[in-house]
Structures are given as structure tokens and as C-alpha cells.
Structure 1
Amino acid sequence: MTIIVDDPRKNAIEALRASVSTSVWASNKQFVSDLKAEIKQHALASNPIIDVFNQGLLSLDAVKTIHLEYRHAIVQIFTDALLMAQFQTRQLEPRLSPGSKMPARFLLTLNILDEFGFQPGYDQSNYYKGNPAYAHYPLFEKVLDDLGVSDRERLHHIPSQIAADVRNFLELSFPNYNSVVALLAVAEEQVILYSPPLRESVKAIGGHVTDGYYHVHGVTTDQGTEAADDDHEDDLWYALMQGATSDQYDQIRYICLAYCDLWDKFWTFQYNVHCRHLFPTPLSALAENASRIIY
């Protein structure tokens, strides 16, 4: 039997689909499609701070603080969550066939390779290309360097309660495979929505954005970047199409929308703290109970 190695993403998705029945795949695909549509209509997608970022209206101090908040909320733990998702694929095998965890691990690896600083192609020794200096977390730290944020400021930054809530919500999902995969997909959507505006806010105060962190965040159709967050989001939804069962739909939907609520509340908080001199009327905060989900 000839095993095709070209187009690894397609190969992994086909393996995911083959690991469950046609009816389960169709049901899960419809559930995911409906959930994605609901997420795209969420208030998170139109928070007013997006326009503030795009217009470059914020001061250097505001941009610095927002990046420290964002660092705590998601950047520091994103790869933790990806690795936990890879590990928790082991929950698939008691229900599915032996080896059924591997297509999902394979697909998640494509995201992890980007996050860790690998690059497509072969080096001069016909081996993988990459350098940990290109890992996304260190690239974000270089953004802070460029903004003039000292190591002391990073160490002693006290995150807002909402930044802590956003971080804790994702961390609470780590023990459950479908939960962490679903929330990672939401996180990727948030990255797609907010990375380009954040890039503009950094650019407006003279920050360097033509390479580095903001060059590798966004969508594949943006010709000015080398970003693939849309592919990675799709991959996570495909993983959920393999892993979800119909009795979990309500809970998965609930936590995804609660995570969107928290992110919208996070950005509303940043707006109210940093934009009041521009827009005196503060935005109303969302309900506090969104951060109190128990898995």
C-alpha cells in the first residue's frame, strides 16, 4: 500500500473522518458549523476597541499595558494548551479504535510546529528548518522589548481580574480533551480578530511589525504576513468533529460562548481603562458569572 505524504493537513483530516462513522461525522460537522456561525456573530467580533486599535489612537503606555494584559491572558499559556490537547487525545482511544488519537495529534502538530519556530522546507542537511528564536512566545517578548517594556515591568505586572479570568478559564479546560480543543479554536478566532488591529496599534506608535510576532499572526489570505491562524482554527474544529459526541454538544457550546463572553469583557475592560479620554461614556461590562464555569 502506498502512503501519501504530500498535503499532510488533508491526510490528517481524512484519517479523522475515517475514524468515526459517517453519521457521527455528519452530525458533528453540522454542530461545529452552527457553533462557528454563532461565534462569528458574537459581540467579540465587533468590540469598539478594534476601531481604536485600527486608527492608532492609543498612547505608548496604553499599548504597553494592553500587551502585558494580553500576555497574561493567552500568550504565555497558548502552547501549554496545545500540548495538553495533544496529551488528552488519549481520551479518544477507549471509545474509538486503537491509534485513533494519532491523526488528531498529527494535525495539532502543524500548529505546534509554527508555535515552536519550525518553518516549512528542508535545511542544507536535508533536515527540518527552524529556530526556537522564531517561536511565537519569544517573538511576543520581542514586541515588548520594542515597546520598551523592561523585565522588571513584566515580572511585577499585576494582571487585571478579567485577564486572570480569561487565562484561568482556558487552564480549567486542560483535563478534558473536547473542552480544550474547542476553546483553542475560539482562541484562534480571537487571534484572527484582534492580531491585525493590535498590529496597527503598535505600528502607530512606531513599533516594528514587518516581521516577528505580528508577521506570523492573522490569516493565510493576508499577503503581507506569513500567518496561518485560520488553518489552525479549522484544524481544531476538525479535531472536535472526531472527538465530540452528541451528548456533549450543549456543554461545548456553553463553554465556547462563555469564553467569547470573557474575551469580550477583557477587551471592554481595556477600552474603559485606556479609551475614556477618547470616548467618555464607558462600555457596560458583561455578567461576572461567565468565568465561573465548572468542567
Structure 2
Amino acid sequence: MDRQLSARELGRQAIINTVPKSEWQQNWQFSRALIEEINNHRIMSHPIMQALNGGQLSFEQMRVVHLEFFHAFAQVFTDAVIQAMFTASQLESRLGPAAKPSARFLLQFNLLEELGFKPGFGSDGSYEGNPNGAHYAQFCDTLAKLHVDPKKINQYVPMASSLACRATFESCYGDHLLMTTLLAVSETVFHDYAGIWATGVAQSTDIDVTKGYHSIHVEDETGVSIEDGHSEDAWILFSQAVTSDRYDAVKHHIYVWLNTWTAFLDDLLAGRFLQNQPQAA
């Protein structure tokens, strides 16, 4: 008997079915080429990885790294997923009525996890989860453990490169292709940083990284992380959204994003956040 497909697999297949076969194959090959280019970019071998993995950052430095990341990425990432849910309506005129719900169905897996839901059903027959388990809430909880309260978060003045990272997300609002591209690229990059960052936090602070934010994205004992599923989902969504006439524009945007994020890491490694550090104490 054939294995029954999971809801996630059904969602992926539904998306594939909305795109003409030859077009899908071309787009999927393009996405594989983009992943290879991303993996060859400097960001994937940035020297900050060694600094994090080697426990070279102090508690104070790690605290400010989290504050910068909050303003650069954490505060807007879930917003970006919700934006992609909304902009999926742009698919319908080109690919038909099935394209919109299929894209939203797959995006919902990412969004539910971002918001603190878990697989399974609770005692009342509804979804399991807790809003305190939302990735954003967990990140704010990590900041609290680093002695940063909400008032200090709002008073903190991030680096220019942090605001530039934030702008890579906010500038894509309203464009479904760019939103799905950005989600795919960011999931691919963050996959390689999550475990290393967790290691650095464990070495520089007294935070238990086996739970909370820094346990969410790292690989489990089977070598799989939540980022693996999110990344694959995002590239499938991208392959549905992209058209050959926008290939060059997509590549341009990806290089701009990667270079912007790399400049952010350069600034962190160079300690350019130190001028803001007193505001975080």
C-alpha cells in the first residue's frame, strides 16, 4: 500500500500542480542554481562563524548582538511571512484559482510554527501551542535573560547596517515573488548560522540553549532542523512565483540582500555596535 502523503507534502504537490510542467522544471532548476550561488557567497563562510563557535564574544557583546539582530531581522520576519500570505493573491491571475490557496496552505506551516503552534491536537480538539512559544516571543525572552527589558529595546539605536537588513524585508512588502525569494534566501542562510549562534550563546552566557529561541532552529539528534522544512517550502513557493522574465531581477536582489547582510556581520565582527552598548546595559 502506498504511503499516505502528509499535509505538508500535499501542500507542496498542490503548488507544483499549479505550474505548467516545463515551466516548473525550469524554475526549479533555476532555484537549485541560486542555492549553489548562495552557498558560495562570502556570508556562508563569514569569520563571525568562528568567533561565535569559539566563544570569543563576551556576555556584553552577545547581548548587543541580540539587540542588533532584533532590529535587523527578528522583529520583521514573522511580518514577512504574513505579507507573503497576503500577496499570494497575485498568483491567481497567472496560474488560476488553485495557486492562491495552495501557496497559503504551505506558508501556513511556517506561520503556525512562528506563532507558537505545535503539531497535534489539544484536549479540546484544537491545535496545540502557546503564544509564549512564538519565535518572536522566545527571542524577546532571550533578551530578558540578557538583562534587556522592552523599554531598553525601544531606546536602543541600532547600527545603520542593521536598519539596512531590516529594509531588505520591508522593501519587498507587496511583491509576492520578492517576498518568497527573500524568505527562501533567509531560511537557507540562517540554517547555517543557527547552531553556531546557539553554541556561542552557551559559551558566552548562562542561558540554557537546549530550550527557548536558540533551541528552535538547530538540528535535532536526527540531523534535521525546523529550517530544513521551511527552506524547502520557501524554494517551492519561489518556484511557483517566479517567471523567466524576472530571473535577472531576482538574482540582482539576492546579491544585494546577501551583501547587505554580510555588511551587517562585518560590522558586528568589527565591534561597530560598541558605541551603542551603554544603552543596552
TM-score scaled by length of structure 2: 0.92
The answer for the alignment partner of 2:82 in structure 1 is 83
What is the aligned residue count?
271
Deviations 1:83-136 (A, max 9, x none): 000100110011111232111110010000110000011112222101101000
2:104 and 2:4 mapped to 1: Cα distance?
Answer: 16
For residue 284 of structure 1, what is the aligned residue in structure 2? Answer: none
Residue 9 of structure 2 aligns to which amino acid in structure 1? K
Query: Letter of the aligned partner of 2:86 in structure 1?
Result: F
Give the corresponding residue for 1:293: none
The corresponding residue for 1:234 is 232
Partner of residue 206, structure 1: 206
Task: Pick the structure with more helix per residue.
Answer: 2
Q: Secondary structure at the match of 2:128?
A: strand
Q: Does residue 168 of the first structure (1) align with residue 167 of the second (2)? A: yes
The sequence identity of aligned pairs, in percent, is 33
Is residue 18–residue 98 contact of structure 2 (8 Å, CA) maintained in 1? no
Is residue 259 of structure 1 aligned with residue 257 of structure 2?
Answer: yes
CA distance in 1, matches of 2:215, 2:272: 25
CA shift for structure 1 position 218? 2.8
Q: CA RMSD in A?
A: 1.9
1:174-213 to 2 correspondence within 5 Å?
174-204=173-203, 205-213=205-213
For the pair 1:148 / 2:137, whether they are aligned, the reply is no
Indicate if the aligned counterparts of 1:93 and 1:100 stay in contact, CA closer than 8 A: yes
Question: Secondary structure of 2:166's partner?
Answer: helix
- Which stretch shows the higher mean deviation, 143-152 or 103-112? 143-152
Q: Deviations over 1:109-168 (max 9, x none)?
A: 000011000001111222210110100000001111111113332121101000000101
Instruction: Give 5+ residue unaligned stretches, structure 1.
Output: 277-295
Q: What are the equivalent positions in structure 2 for 1:1-295 lying under 5 Å apart?
A: 6-204=5-203, 205-219=205-219, 222-223=220-221, 227-273=225-271
d(CA) in 1 for partners of 2:90, 2:243: 13
CA spacing shift, 1:118–1:156, aligned 2, 3 Å: same
> Bigger shift: 147-156 or 96-105?
147-156
In 1, the alpha carbon distance for the partners of 2:93 and 2:115 equals 30
Separation of aligned partners in 2, 1:151 and 1:167:
19
- In structure 2, runs of 5+ residues without a counterpart are 275-281
Q: Is the 8 A contact 1:85 1:177 kept in 2?
A: yes
Q: Shift of the alpha carbon at 1:192?
A: 1.1
| Cα pair distance change 1:254/1:88, threshold 3 Å | same
Q: Compared with structure 1, are the counterparts of its residues 251 and 181 closer, same or farther at alpha carbon in structure 2 (3 Å cutoff)?
A: same
Question: Matches of 1:260 and 1:129 in 2, distance apart?
Answer: 36
CA distance in 2 between counterparts of 1:44 and 1:249 reads 22
Cα contact 1:218–1:230 (8 A) shared by 2: no
SS at match of 2:118: strand
- 2 CA distance for matches of 1:158 and 1:189? 28
Q: Whose RCO is larger (CA < 8 A, sep 6+)? A: 2
- For the 8 Å contact 2:180–2:241, the answer to whether it is kept is no
Say if 1:224 and 1:163 are closer, same or farther in 2 by CA, change over 3 A.
Answer: farther
TM-score where L is the length of structure 1 = 0.88
